[in-house]
Amino acid sequence: MPSFDTICEANLVEVKNAVENTVKEITTRFDFKGTAASIEIKDKEITMVGDAEFQLTQIEDVLRNKLTKRNVDVRFLDMGDVQKMGGDKVKQVIKVRNGIESELAKKLQKLMKESKLKVQAAIQEDKVRVSGAKRDDLQAAMALIRKEITEVPLSFDNFRD
């Protein structure tokens, strides 16, 4: 039976490279000299530190530009709240989305049921497997998912005929 997997995975190597390029730009920019501006990545969390929220916004802007140049969708970034640290420093944690959350998986499953296409959607850990009798139905399902789900960058993997 033909099937495909709907996944949400960022290229973590490219994300890490973008963060490293952002660090290089921050250390060389004049407006960041003598400030606490920094950015680092651990596992799937990016931590930005700055003197003020405005500075965090500037660092985020540089990061978004670097990610875009490396063909990484910025919708993978899940922005956290700005937190005050000791003194007058602030920090913000950005999570890199990896895997489909259960709420979105249920939404995808419901979308497939309501579409009247002859396909079934099954939630498997952090991905959704869509299977159907005809290849054309699966391609229609892919088109529907691309059209309806815009808040998260979804991709398709493991297409079997």
Structure confidence by residue, pLDDT tens digits, 89-111? 999 999 998 888 889 999 999 99
The amino acid sitting at 56 is: L
pTM: 0.83
Q: Tokens 């959350």 appear where?
A: 101
Domain with CATH 3.30.70.860 in the chain: 3-9+99-160
Rama region for 158: left / alpha / beta (φ>0; ψ in -120 to 50; rest): left
* Mean pLDDT calculated for residue range 140-152: 91
Mean pLDDT of the chain: 91
Q: Given pLDDT bands bounded at 50, 70 and 90, which one contains residue 18?
A: very high
Question: What was the pLDDT predicted at 110?
Answer: 92
* Mean pLDDT calculated for residue range 74-102: 90
Q: Which fold has domain 12-96?
A: Alpha-Beta Plaits (3.30.70)
Q: Given pLDDT bands bounded at 50, 70 and 90, which one contains residue 81?
A: very high
Question: What was the pLDDT predicted at 47?
Answer: 95
The CATH class given to the 3-9+99-160 domain equals alpha beta
Q: Given pLDDT bands bounded at 50, 70 and 90, which one contains residue 116?
A: confident
Domain with CATH 3.30.70.990 in the chain: 12-96
Rg (CA), the chain: 20
Q: Are 51 and 68 in contact (CB under 8 A)?
A: no
* Structure confidence by residue, pLDDT tens digits, 25-50: 999 999 888 888 999 999 899 999 99
